[in-house]
Structure 1
Amino acid sequence: MFSTVLVALPAALICLFISSAPAHADLKLCNRMSYVVEAAIGVDYKAATATRGWFRIDPAACRVVAQGTLTAERILLNARALGVYGSSPIPQNGADMLCIAPDNFVIAAARQCRSGQSPAPFTQISPTATDDGNLVAYLAEDSEYDDEQARLAGIQRLLVIAGYDAAPIDGVDGPKTQAALAAFLKNRGLTPDIVQAPNFFAAMIDAVQSPSSTGLTWCNNTPHKIMAAVGTDDGKTVISRGWYRIDPGKCLHPDVTGQPRQIFSFAEAVDGENRALKFKDRPLNWGGATQLCTRESKFEINEQGDCGTRGLAITGFAAVDMSGGGKTLRFAMP
């Protein structure tokens, strides 16, 4: 009998299709989503809880996250999409708050976080036993992609973020997707055979995280993590959207679609717990005079009036001059 554990994404719900099975062998996670994800697992055994992460898994790929006999009373999961996807995915909701770290980690006592660690929600899973005696859990969207569709939808999503028109993101091949992919490969100096290579998603993400001659690009030249938000005005509606995570030394293209008349930008440096940083007693942020609505958690807001009375924050965005066809904003220390 199958049950479903929901992991929330605003663009698409992640589901873990699971069934009851004893944890007795290799545990494998398979990604049938259109996002490259990073996963962390938690193991409860005899009143002790340990966590381990991050395991990066491309669309349509699987990865063993625990080898050999897995002794556990409960197995738990936290999954996150890469920061390159910006405001679309959000962390899952779960009943167990366990410790994680920003980079690869193994935490033996995961219910009491120490310096450099932070609590995150984990969801209990019961993976399916396979014919070879191993265990598998599938990460899937409500679109219920198969492996081929998930891979193509993952390519489409990164093409859109990189500024190429591969919409809709549906996992269905066609002339529009092929034209966008061909243009991407040509502009990035990549040969067509890389599409089938194991490192293709890594190559696409590297391209998305580098400056572009089209659209808006944010580049983080600070030693801190930066969270950014974008505003667009199409002449009828002003939409603010965030937050996009930009790691130190990386660039990112917010997924701005269509041809907006005006684009606005706001960014701020944050610490490991996403608290705003100050430099010489002043907020370390990059904004301007245009006031738009935001909130602490990820958001998309299409009504900009009365922010305060609606429980929203008022944030000053900078207008971005896109007259040259493309603009790179580089955030640096004062």
Structure 2
Amino acid sequence: MVRHLPILGLIILVAAAFAGGSSARAEYSLCNKTSYALSAALGFVEEDNLLTRGWWRLRPGECKKVISEEIQAGRYYVYAEAIPGHRGELKTWSGGTPLCVQNDSLFTLRDQSVCAEDPSRQRDFNGVDIAAEDGGNFTTDFTDENNFSTYQAQVAGIQRLLADVGFDIGAVDGQLGATTKSALRQYRRSRGIGQDGVIDDQVMDQLITEVNNEDAKLGFFFCNETLLPVWSAFAQPARNGEGYEASGWWRLEPSSCAKVRRGELSAEPYYVYGIMQAEDQELQLAGGDTEFCVSAVQFEARSDVACAESGFDVASFRRIDTGSEKAWTFVFRPEQFNAELSQATQ
């Protein structure tokens, strides 16, 4: 499951009239007017089926055509999330309609039931209504509280990405001042992609690749080395620094992995839990020593709430001490779901 924390994100529909008369064909474009590099997805009805398609990478300040066929009146659905390499909590531009995506690859999904049992593959899309009388080309703008123009978003995006790789930029304000130009020149020289302070697709893509590659090395991962699906849950220090927060579920197919926490790990202990789905029973991860709230459906629960009074069940999570490691992988193995074998192998 990926946790989505909404920021002050706006999704704006812009309808531009045709200049060429009725023979012109409509297009649907997505524009990124934020300082974040985004991955975007679109949902729409095609031949009576609700189809979702993605991901389109949108650099800060970039607009991209996502439908080139004639636009039909009706409801469309849009969603975007910041790339994982950006620092801090994952930012999203979302709504209230859960639809299916493919997490780690390009996708076109014509059957929305494919993710019914896997909440980690659902995203909350925002509905956009297009009326027949609107006409013209349609653009959905992803914006935030800064209300950047496309140029300002491009500059702010470079500022944010340079800060992500360690440069002291100051404010991410969309202004191409001396500090930003100096940092950009230093970065380009150090990576062998020029000497000047020009913002172009090459330097933007280099920065995006670099921050994403660094993020891939950090965090807490689950892997399933059993022969059966495992529903997994995770507890970590709460973001406000008080207590813990448990969340789930990540459905792990055999031989699959999932990142359940982004970013560099802290020295505090983490806690893991899992249920292996056998044909006629559910086997719980053995060796648990600390109780956290859980639910039969996707959940988030703080450690300071009364589980039963809040409608939760209770499960014993296993403690994991990661020490000074920046990343950790917990592997679910068959023997961990047998109390006697688990105790012998701990």
The two structures have a TM-score, normalised by structure 2, of: 0.60
* Counterpart Cα distance in 2 of 1:268 and 1:80: 27
Q: CA RMSD in A?
A: 5.4
Question: Counting helix residues as a fraction of each chain, which structure ranks higher?
Answer: 2
Task: Quickly say closer, same or farther: Cα 1:101–1:163, change in 2 above 3 A.
Answer: same
Aligned to 2:124: 121
Q: Does 1:200 align with 2:203?
A: yes
Q: Does 1:35 align with 2:31?
A: no
Task: Quickly say closer, same or farther: Cα 1:16–1:219, change in 2 above 3 A.
Answer: closer
**1:155-234 equivalent positions in 2, closer than 5 A:** 155-192=158-195, 195-210=198-213, 218=218
Task: Report the CA distance between 1:37 and its aligned residue.
Answer: 0.9
- Equivalent residues of 2:78, 2:128 under 8 A apart: yes
* Counterpart Cα distance in 1 of 2:329 and 2:188: 28
Q: Secondary structure at the match of 1:208?
A: helix
Give per-residue Cα distances to partners, 1:270-320, cap 9 Å, x unaligned. xxxxx9698x9869xxxxxxxxxxxx9899x9xxxx844699x99978686
Give per-residue Cα distances to partners, 1:151-202, cap 9 Å, x unaligned. 1111121222222221322212333333433443444444345853323222
Task: Quickly say closer, same or farther: Cα 1:248–1:113, change in 2 above 3 A.
Answer: closer
**1:80-119 equivalent positions in 2, closer than 5 A:** 80-85=81-86, 86-90=88-92, 92-94=94-96, 96-102=97-103, 103-110=105-112, 113=115, 118-119=121-122
- Equivalent residues of 2:32, 2:59 under 8 A apart: yes
* Counterpart Cα distance in 2 of 1:167 and 1:136: 32
Q: Secondary structure at the match of 1:156?
A: helix
**1:1-334 equivalent positions in 2, closer than 5 A:** 10=6, 12-18=7-13, 25-44=26-45, 47-85=48-86, 86-90=88-92, 92-94=94-96, 96-102=97-103, 103-110=105-112, 113=115, 118-126=121-129, 133-192=136-195, 195-210=198-213, 218=218, 254=263, 264=267, 307-308=304-305, 329=327, 331=329
* Counterpart Cα distance in 1 of 2:284 and 2:222: 17
Task: Report the CA distance between 1:230 and its aligned residue.
Answer: 8.2
* Counterpart Cα distance in 2 of 1:43 and 1:121: 14
- Equivalent residues of 2:182, 2:197 under 8 A apart: no
Q: Unmatched 5+ residue regions in structure 2?
A: 19-24, 225-232, 248-255, 277-282, 287-297, 333-346
Q: Secondary structure at the match of 1:203?
A: helix
The two structures have a TM-score, normalised by structure 1, of: 0.62
Which letter does structure 2 place at the counterpart of 1:17? I
Structure label with greater radius of gyration? 2
Task: Report the CA distance between 1:63 and its aligned residue.
Answer: 0.8
Task: Report the CA distance between 1:32 and its aligned residue.
Answer: 0.6
Q: Give the count of matched residue pairs.
A: 290
Task: Report the CA distance between 1:240 and its aligned residue.
Answer: 9.2
Q: Secondary structure at the match of 1:83?
A: coil
* Counterpart Cα distance in 1 of 2:299 and 2:165: 24
Which letter does structure 1 place at the counterpart of 2:162? L
Task: Quickly say closer, same or farther: Cα 1:68–1:77, change in 2 above 3 A.
Answer: same
Aligned to 2:336: none
* Counterpart Cα distance in 1 of 2:199 and 2:331: 40
Which letter does structure 2 place at the counterpart of 1:108? R
Task: Report the CA distance between 1:25 and its aligned residue.
Answer: 1.5
Which letter does structure 1 place at the counterpart of 2:184? L
Q: Secondary structure at the match of 2:79?
A: strand
- Equivalent residues of 1:19, 1:126 under 8 A apart: no
Q: Secondary structure at the match of 1:150?
A: helix
Q: Percent identity?
A: 22
Q: Secondary structure at the match of 2:26?
A: coil
- Equivalent residues of 1:25, 1:68 under 8 A apart: yes
Task: Quickly say closer, same or farther: Cα 1:330–1:112, change in 2 above 3 A.
Answer: closer
- Equivalent residues of 2:237, 2:245 under 8 A apart: yes
